[in-house]
Amino acid sequence: GPDRPKSLARYLDNQAYTKWLQDTAAAVEEDLLLAKDLREENRDLDGLLASYSHLSDYYKDNNQPLSRQYAEKLLQTSVEFENHSAELKGLERLIGLSSGQEAKDFATRFITLNDSVNRNNLKVQNTFAKIRFDEERKQQEIFGLEAKNSRQELETQKMRDRVIIASLIGIILLLGAIFLFYHFRQRHRKEKIREVYKTESRISKVIHDELANDIFNIMSALEPVAPVPIIDKLENIYLRTRDISRENSDIDTGPNYLEGLLATLSNNTPDDAKLIIRGENDVNWEKISAEKKIVVYRVLQELMVNMKKHSRANLVAISFSETGKKLDINYSDTGKGVDFSATTKSGGLQNVENRIFSLNGRLNFESQEGKGFKVSMQIPV
């Protein structure tokens, strides 16, 4: 190939020059000249610069004219192809092979070129230094930007965490407010039920201890002298006041609650009517609050009194059951019923409704005139 003569010339030249450096008496002239000829034939300019330099060195001590000749060729070729390193080497060789003004001229030229080369080298060094500085600054900017982005991401994450924490706190506060609202509303309901119960008990006590006793005492005093119809009317008033007192008397909400409830239901059943109660023993009355027991007691008492006064029923059925967290109570009788489309609820039925709603319970009346009366109630427990 075309590179083979160049490789051969390079091999011959380097081998011969190395031998000569080791032994100046070595026979290397023929190989140095052969390498030079091969390079001239193949226009191997870089190789020729090496050959001219080596031949100038080789002839420096034994043939100065030839040494100068090759030094001049080295200088001429290096100038032609702007190889400043080879040009400096040629000038340095010619300074040593010249004298007088000629040596000074070569020296001046050497100094000028060397300064120029040094300036160029410095310029190149400065250029590379600037490139390196710019690259380092660029890397610093990149690192700074990355650090800034990292800080921004950290701040964003912190902001996100603060938003999440604030949201959680808001949710907790909202739930807490809802809980407190529900708690206070329930407490208000309980307090309202207790106040109603206390008022009823106080009325019962006043009627029993004062009004009923006064009527009884007057009736007893007038009995020897007053006509029988007057005494009968007084007795009727006395019995009515006693009934009112019983309807509003104290309620035992403790372990004897169910016994007292059943006794009240039985006492309010007319002699010619039958009372059927189911499921009362399946209810866990102990877990039901006192306020709810009071409402259940008063509601059923109100229904029984209403039935006794108005319906003329011969059969009354009351059933209890627990479904989940609800207490279901169903009341029904075979009385004359109520036509709700033609009239508003009586005071007793309105009281029943109000009491159930005070517990956030549910209530449904079913009745038609002449077809009995039904009430279904559901109370949370």
Q: What is the DSSP string of 183-203?
A: HHHHHHHHHHHHHHHHHHHHH
With residue 320 as reference, give the H or E element that holds it. strand 315-323
What is the per-residue pLDDT for 97?
81
The three-state secondary structure class of 251 is coil
How many angstroms separate the Cα of 205 from the Cα of each of 244, 246, 253, 291, 367? Answer: 10, 9, 18, 20, 35
Asked whether 320 and 282 are in contact (CB, 8 A), the reply is yes
In DSSP notation, 352-365 reads HHHHHHHTT-EEEE
What is the per-residue pLDDT for 322?
93
Phi, psi of 268 (to 5 degrees): -95, 5
What is the per-residue pLDDT for 239?
72
What is the per-residue pLDDT for 242?
62
> Angle at the Cα of 301 (from 295 to 306), degrees rounded to 5?
125
**CA neighbor of 9 nearest in space, from 36, 29, 27, 45:** 36
What is the per-residue pLDDT for 272?
92
Tokens of 43: 């226009």
Per-residue pLDDT of the chain (381 residues; tens, 9 = 90+): 567 888 888 998 899 899 999 988 888 888 999 888 888 888 888 888 898 889 988 998 889 899 888 888 888 888 887 888 887 887 888 888 878 888 888 889 889 888 888 887 777 677 776 778 778 888 888 888 888 888 899 998 999 999 999 989 999 999 888 878 777 776 776 676 667 666 765 665 566 566 767 776 787 778 787 788 888 777 778 677 766 756 667 899 999 999 999 999 999 999 999 999 999 999 999 999 999 999 999 999 999 988 888 888 999 999 999 988 999 999 999 998 887 665 556 677 888 999 999 999 999 999 887 889 999 999 998
What is the per-residue pLDDT for 73?
87
What pTM value is reported for the model? 0.46
C-alpha to C-alpha distance for 333 and 222, rounded to whole angstroms: 41
What is the per-residue pLDDT for 110?
87
